[in-house]
Structure 1
Amino acid sequence: MSSTAPTYSNPFVWPDTADICDINIHERVPVVLDVTDSTYFAWKTYFSLLFRKNNLVDHVDCTVDSRIMVGDSEWTAIDAMLIRWFFTTISKDLFHTVVSDGDDARAVWVKLNGLFTDNKLQRCVFLQQNFFDCHQDDQSIDDYCRRPKTLADELRDIGAKVDDDLLLSRLTSGLNEDFGNAASNLSLMSAG
């Protein structure tokens, strides 16, 4: 085993363990990842931004072999903190699915992402069913509009495109009766 130091994209910035430990993960990642909800795209995006902002990408992108870093207490402390962040931002079911003794942050990250991208056909069927079953019911208009958009983003992540016309069609057909005129007008606008 080699004991070379990791190469960071910015060699002058080394994450400070105390700064990383002080991050309130629930403020930075305000969603809980769950297989029964469409939160994967948001969850992954929040974490990706957090990794980039704090120079933590090397913990999840395989540029550094964690077995080499075992002797670096700061690196292993940060890696353990990332694992803790993952575990506190996922559902209990997901936790029990991915938890395994001895995993590093990269292994947990790969497992979690794989659950949402590896089973593309199953995931696509689930997301499309939710997309086409979307109705406003008693939700606010903002909450309702966010739901199909989120599902469309999740579908895009697995390679199933939802074009703007289909998204608009789904949005208008799921609106409450109170928005009947608006739905008709939106449908006419998109046809022209």
Structure 2
Amino acid sequence: MSKKNNNQYHPALAVTQIRNHVTVTLGMDNDQYPLWVALFTNHAKSTRVLHHIITPKSGKPAPPATDDEKEMWETIDAMILQWIYATVSTDLLETIVKSDSTAMECWKRIEDIFQDNQHSRAVTLEQEFSSTSMGDFANVSAYCQRLKSLADQLKNVGSPVTNNRLVLQLVSELSSAYQNVGTIIRQKEPLPQFYRARSMLTLEEASIAKAAASSALYVKHQDHDSSSPSQSILGKPPASSNKNNGNKNWNNKKKGNNKGKGGKQSDSSTGENTGGNTGSVSTGGAPWGGYGGWPWGPSAWPYPPCPYPTAPGYGG
């Protein structure tokens, strides 16, 4: 019989990485106790060691009958203690660790730490639960996760939150962008389960984000189409700049022509500037800007070309 027990395989002995199964770290100052308990007890059930930390409803199991059974029980119990120590913070570990302690005793010490002063803790949690608003969170998921965590903690201190209350609290503190879907959830009879209401809000959040992205892309394209580049690839000024410069030059020409008409003009027969202006020659209002109004002449000669008409022997 002892030989058979010695060779008997126990699934708890095959667990080498408890953090793969209990993925949260329980600390003195966090609110992960309900989640930690759920993950730990589920793993204990799957490895058939739940009775090492929680007394079954049917009563305490029979003590080991033989030395081999006692040795196996102590080995498994020590392994469960290692699981507990590996999934709690250093501060909490220093509080709960004791020599020659069983897994059940250690489990009870943790339970007392997180469930002491239940009424005071319930009042504090109730206030926080009722004042939780979506505006304090970055997205829908974080808001829903916080409400669910507070509901779990209230259940842990003996003040469970019903599904209807949880859903109503969820929709009562939504942001203005989610008021429409909140109204739909409120008007359902009966109220949907919390996970379904959370799913509806998550889908609405995705739709809002998609619409915002499309609107931003449309505005970007509109701005790009309505604006012209300040400089082309070849370094030329934009067309609007050329057009403005052209208008400016044409206006300057018109001003010059007007001055030429109203003021003293050069004598085209002698080539002398009768107005005393030696810097330029009036074009006589010719639009092409040639010398003396000739379209084939150079533009605005300051003096006639040599030989001058007044030079001796000119034309003789």
Contiguous gaps of at least 5 residues in structure 1: 6-12
Which whole-Å CA distance do the structure 2 matches of 1:138 and 1:119 have between them? 29
Deviations 1:41-65 (A, max 9, x none): 2211111111111111232235369
State the number of aligned residues: 179
2:10 to 9, 15, 18: 15
Moved more, 85-94 or 56-65: 56-65
1:116–1:123 CA contact under 8 A, matched in 2: no
Superposition deviation, residue 69 in structure 1:
9.3
Superposition deviation, residue 94 in structure 1:
2.2
AA aligned opposite 1:161: P
State the match for 2:124 in structure 1.
126
Deviations 1:139-177 (A, max 9, x none): 331232122122212212332132233212221233333
AA aligned opposite 2:166: L
Alignment of 1:152-163 (within 5 A): 152-163=151-162
1:34 to 23, 27, 34: 27
State the match for 1:8 in structure 2.
none
What's the TM-score, normalizing by structure 2? 0.48
Which whole-Å CA distance do the structure 1 matches of 2:63 and 2:93 have between them? 21
CA change 1:76–1:115 in 2 (3 A) is same
Deviations 1:112-145 (A, max 9, x none): 1222334311321232233223233343312321
Give the number of the structure whose residues are more often helix, by fraction: 1
Deviations 1:73-131 (A, max 9, x none): 44333222211221222233322322222211111111112223343113212322332
CA change 1:17–1:160 in 2 (3 A) is closer
Moved more, 29-38 or 61-70: 61-70
For CA contacts below 8 A with separation 6 or more, give which structure has more relative contact order: 1
Which whole-Å CA distance do the structure 2 matches of 1:177 and 1:25 have between them? 44
State the match for 2:164 in structure 1.
165
2:25–2:36 CA contact under 8 A, matched in 1: yes
Give the RMSD, CA atoms, in angstroms.
3.2
Contiguous gaps of at least 5 residues in structure 2: 3-7, 192-316
SS of 1:160's partner is coil
What's the TM-score, normalizing by structure 1? 0.74
2:133–2:173 CA contact under 8 A, matched in 1: yes
CA change 1:110–1:70 in 2 (3 A) is farther
